[in-house]
Amino acid sequence: MTLVIDCHGHYTTAPDAHTAWREAQVAAFRKGEPAPPYPDISDAEIIESIEQNQLRLIRERGADLTIFSPRASTMAHHVGDQAVSLEWSRRCNDLIARVVRLFPDSFVGVCMLPQSPDAGLEASIAELDRCVNDLGFIGCNLNPDPGGGHFRHPALTDRYWYPLYEKMVELDVPAMIHVSGSCNACLHATGAFYIAADTIAFMQLIEGDLFRDFPTLRFIIPHGGGAVPFHWGRYRGLADMLKKPSLDTHVMKNVFFDTCVYHQPGIDLMARVIDNRNILFGSEMVGAVRGIDPTTGHYFDDTKRYIEALDITETERHQIYEGNARRVFPRLDALLKGRGL
């Protein structure tokens, strides 16, 4: 038996009161006033928001478990300051924890971090610790460009990030490299910023030697790794030009791509060039692209169909659906083993 684990789900349908509070929080910050109290949100509201959306789609499409994190586009680390980002992160992560408690068989939590463009990583490290040790989360989303669209932060290989990586290694949790909303009008969030940031992140990892310093650190680059599989020859060639080891040893022991690529030819390419052990099933739903593909009659983000159609062995499919996720998220593996799975 294979568990179908979706490594990339965001709580995009959080209750309105949560979203309204965020707006009030930001408005208060801009006026120099304290944020209003966070609203009471009932279990019933959360249950409704999940059952009518994520859970309905998960059941229709046949997934078992979603690795669930706060909505990526509204992390908005570029808004406010460290304190604003921290309070918003805690509220978002606490809400994820409530979803997981209400639907423990269907969701497991991944946190957002309270990054802020001018801040260090102390608050992010503390929040990661809280989410893993107190809330039972299994990983985090790390924003490589908390400025929101101008790529002014140090490369992921820079020592700026090392204290966070040390904490990740200590906790044995991976990070999904995931930017948030764009504050750059020329970068559409899900169509430009996300895919560009994924691609840029991978190239940073080629240029550096991060995994020599952190051999057990693990990153998931979402959206199929941005442009990387399509340009796999370019990246293999650039590693060679930069006198780096081949990508399989230099980067791909530590980097994984999800399957948020919304058509069969893209998934076919990915399975052809990327080792199946580096691919994690993901859908990013309810998410970036919500419509039905007129060429197939199915939802663009029903990525399970593409995996089903791959000409690979059942062993390989098991890796993509379950095996790789359990390896990349050891705390998930332990949790499932504790349930006899």
Specify the stretch interacting with a copy of itself by CB under 8 A; choose among 161-169, 213-221, 228-236, 325-333.
228-236
Contact pattern for a copy of itself over residues 165 through 194, marking x by CB under 8 A: -------------------xxxxx-xxx--
- Judged by CB under 8 A, the chain residues 248 through 267 that form the site for a copy of itself are 261-263, 265-266
Residues contacting a copy of itself: total by CB under 8 A: 56
> Which residue number, 56 or 152, has a Cβ lying nearer to a copy of itself?
152
The one among 269, 312, 335, 341 contacting a copy of itself by CB under 8 A: 269
Cβ 15 to a copy of itself shortest distance, Å: 23
Residue 1 binds to a copy of itself (criterion: CB under 8 A):
no
Contact pattern for a copy of itself over residues 62 through 101, marking x by CB under 8 A: ----------------------------------------
Instruction: Report residue 300 as tokens.
Output: 């663009």
Q: Which residues are catalytic?
A: 284
The one among 272, 309, 315, 337 contacting a copy of itself by CB under 8 A: 272
- Judged by CB under 8 A, the chain residues 8 through 67 that form the site for a copy of itself are none
The one among 55, 238, 312, 341 contacting a copy of itself by CB under 8 A: 238
The one among 230, 252, 253, 341 contacting a copy of itself by CB under 8 A: 230
In DSSP terms, 220 is beta-bridged to 176, 256
- Judged by CB under 8 A, the chain residues 273 through 332 that form the site for a copy of itself are 273, 288-291, 293, 295, 300
> Which residue number, 26 or 273, has a Cβ lying nearer to a copy of itself?
273
3-state secondary structure the chain: CCCCEEEEEEECCCCHHHHHHHHHHHHHHHHCCCCCCCCCCCHHHHHHHHHCCHHHHHHHHCCCEEEEEECCCCCCCCCCCHHHHHHHHHHHHHHHHHHHHHCCCCEEECEECCCCCCCCCHHHHHHHHHHHHHCCCCCEEECCCCCCCCCCCCCCCCHHHHHHHHHHHHHCCCEEECCCCCCCCCCCHHHHHHHHHHHHHHHHHHHCCHHHHCCCCCEEECHHHCCCCCCHHHHHHHHHHCCCCCHHHHCCCCEEEECCCCCHHHHHHHHHHCCHHHEECCCCCCCCCCCECCCCCCECCCCHHHHHHCCCCHHHHHHHHHHHHHHHCHHHHHHHHHCCC
Which residues are near a copy of itself by CB under 8 A?
149-155, 184-188, 190-192, 195-197, 199-200, 203-204, 206-207, 223-224, 226-227, 229-238, 240-241, 261-263, 265-266, 268-269, 272-273, 288-291, 293, 295, 300
